[in-house]
Structure 1
Amino acid sequence: MSPAEPVPVLCLPFAGAGAGFFRKWQQPSSLRLVPLQLPGREERTDEEPHREVARAVHALLPEALDAVKGHSEVAVFGHSLGAVLAYELARALEERTELPVAHVFVSGSPAPEHGRAGEAAELSDDEFVARVEELAGYRHPAFESAEFRELMLPTLRADVEMHESYRPASDYPIEAPLTCLRGDRDTLVTAHDAQLWKSATTSAFDYRELAGGHMYLTDGQPELLGVLAAALDPEGRRAGDGAPCV
């Protein structure tokens, strides 16, 4: 990878979402987003969704390496469930590959040792949907359609189970620099619990609050992408006319 090329950012979705969420983002020139697709959604709807973070990361690792083949370093980003997937994927990259992790971005999630309490995955469908919307402060547009709701629920339920059952793969922190992001009106993740991510890395740590609630990134992606771009290229050395998602 030449010095002018942007560091690819592997993107992991929040519960119920797919790679298409990231493909819709308009990107600044210094970013190259690489959405990773989980089974059970979009073009992988017919595949069984993961219910354990460890299994998900085991499957994601070769896909991630293939997606960034030819690059000399990589970054990872994830929101909510995606944050713990991104964190554990970064650990797997550090421990099992020779590909350097330039930066880890975790969003809308408490630190690994202060994970989500198991309280939603076992509820009835109506109670489950209501609880997820209450926790996230966000109603997925697909829930307006009975057909899409029925299609989405098994994957969303599996994602929530995966998040609620998550425990860190190791007590040791990762080595990559880490930035934790949070909506300043997030009622699901407190500022205190988010700032505890500082102990998840032996390198530099930054905490940033952006305007919005738990799902601030649905409307605030320009500011969010600006944070990512600045962290990956603090001196603005990378040039280009823009890089699409790959």
Structure 2
Amino acid sequence: MKPTVLICLPFAGAGASFFRKWRRSAPAGLTILAVQLPGREERFAEPAHTDVGSAAAALCPALVPQLDGAGRVVLFGHSLGAELAYELTWRLVERGVAVDRLVVSGAPGPRDRGFERVGHLDDDGFIDGLRRVTGYVHGALDHPGMREIVLPVLRADNRMHESYVSEHDGPLPVPITSVRGRRDELVSAAEARQWSAETDAGFRYAEVDGGHMYLTDSPGSVLATVVGHDA
């Protein structure tokens, strides 16, 4: 495998530590670059983003120097992270970074936004709604003290997701792979294949064992799917 930098964008409520653990499963030649968004972990004191485009624009300047001399550059994002990775890919390309592939996971295409919205609900309703629409809720929400800390970030992430619609007129000049868990009850195969319309550089579709949050169970198999081929 060519030396590869894999830039990982978090799903709603997650921090960079989720992907840093993948380093133990990474094959030789693969560097995991886990992006930390403001409002979580070591960036807890910073205001969380509420807009996908502005989040990607803010992340880009710090990432570009870290990619100097990289072999392959691949971006990966799951659910909300897929939207962030897509927008970040556009901005890296505009800055002259040679991105080899964008891998979107557990996400419908960026234009058909017909999904249940839960951001308007009170806290209890919002948490129950997140379980329905994401299949995952941060464990800290089970602890009253931590709940007050985590909820604002989850609401900000949910606002990013619910308000996001791609405004790009043309196709992305980067190959896209869309990955979906075979038992995903939240994103259908047809929705996952919508990403084929977002690129003119080649599209691949892959299914892996598991449901919507398949990536929490077997990092090794996920990494093999993500970087198991050249662009």
Determine if the TM-score, normalized by the shorter chain, exceeds 0.5: yes
3-state DSSP of counterpart to 1:113:
coil
Is 1:22 the counterpart of 2:32? The answer is no
Distance 1:122 1:57 in 2: 25
More displaced stretch, 112-121 vs 5-14: 112-121
**1:137 and 1:172, CA in 2 relative to 1: closer, same or farther beyond 3 A?**
same
More displaced stretch, 67-76 vs 146-155: 67-76
Letter in 2 for 1:24: K
Distance 2:81 2:153 in 1: 14
Q: Deviations 1:159-192 (Å, cap 9, x if unpaired)?
A: 0110110011312110111100011111111110
Distance 1:40 1:141 in 2: 17
- Does structure 2 conserve the Cα–Cα contact (< 8 Å) formed by 1:10 and 1:64? no
Distance 2:227 2:72 in 1: 15
Letter in 2 for 1:83: A
Distance 1:84 1:138 in 2: 18
- Does structure 2 conserve the Cα–Cα contact (< 8 Å) formed by 1:211 and 1:220? no
**Following TM superposition, by how much is the alpha carbon of 1:59 offset from its aligned partner in structure 2, in angstroms?**
0.2
- Does structure 2 conserve the Cα–Cα contact (< 8 Å) formed by 1:54 and 1:169? no
Letter in 2 for 1:169: E
Residue 200 of structure 1 corresponds to which residue in structure 2? 198
> What percent of counterpart residues are identical?
44
Residue 182 of structure 2 corresponds to which residue in structure 1? 184
- Does structure 2 conserve the Cα–Cα contact (< 8 Å) formed by 1:74 and 1:102? yes
Residue 62 of structure 1 corresponds to which residue in structure 2? 61
3-state DSSP of counterpart to 1:34:
strand
Distance 1:214 1:192 in 2: 15
**Following TM superposition, by how much is the alpha carbon of 1:72 offset from its aligned partner in structure 2, in angstroms?**
5.0
Distance 1:163 1:208 in 2: 23
Tell me which of 161, 170, 173 is aligned to 1:172. Answer: 170
**Following TM superposition, by how much is the alpha carbon of 1:116 offset from its aligned partner in structure 2, in angstroms?**
5.7
Q: Map 1:208-227 to 2 at 5 A.
A: 208-227=206-225
Distance 2:68 2:154 in 1: 30
- Does structure 2 conserve the Cα–Cα contact (< 8 Å) formed by 1:30 and 1:229? no
Q: Deviations 1:88-119 (Å, cap 9, x if unpaired)?
A: 11111112x12101110000100011136361
Q: Deviations 1:61-110 (Å, cap 9, x if unpaired)?
A: 11211332332542111000000110111111112x12101110000100
**1:35 and 1:125, CA in 2 relative to 1: closer, same or farther beyond 3 A?**
same
3-state DSSP of counterpart to 1:112:
coil
Residue 238 of structure 1 corresponds to which residue in structure 2? none
Structure 2-normalised TM-score? 0.94
Q: Which has the higher contact order (CA 8 A, sep 6+)?
A: 1
Identify unmatched segments of 5+ residues in structure 1: 234-246
Distance 1:69 1:118 in 2: 41
Distance 1:163 1:116 in 2: 12
Distance 2:230 2:123 in 1: 41
3-state DSSP of counterpart to 1:214:
coil
Letter in 2 for 1:75: V
Q: Map 1:17-96 to 2 at 5 A.
A: 17-25=14-22, 26-71=25-70, 73-95=72-94
Is 1:133 the counterpart of 2:131? The answer is yes
RMSD, aligned α-carbons: 1.6
Q: Deviations 1:180-226 (Å, cap 9, x if unpaired)?
A: 00111111111101111111110111101111111110003211100
Distance 2:225 2:98 in 1: 20
More displaced stretch, 111-120 vs 149-158: 111-120
- Does structure 1 conserve the Cα–Cα contact (< 8 Å) formed by 2:3 and 2:72? no
Number of positions where the alignment pairs a residue of Structure 1 with one of Structure 2? 229
- Does structure 1 conserve the Cα–Cα contact (< 8 Å) formed by 2:3 and 2:70? no
3-state DSSP of counterpart to 1:128:
helix
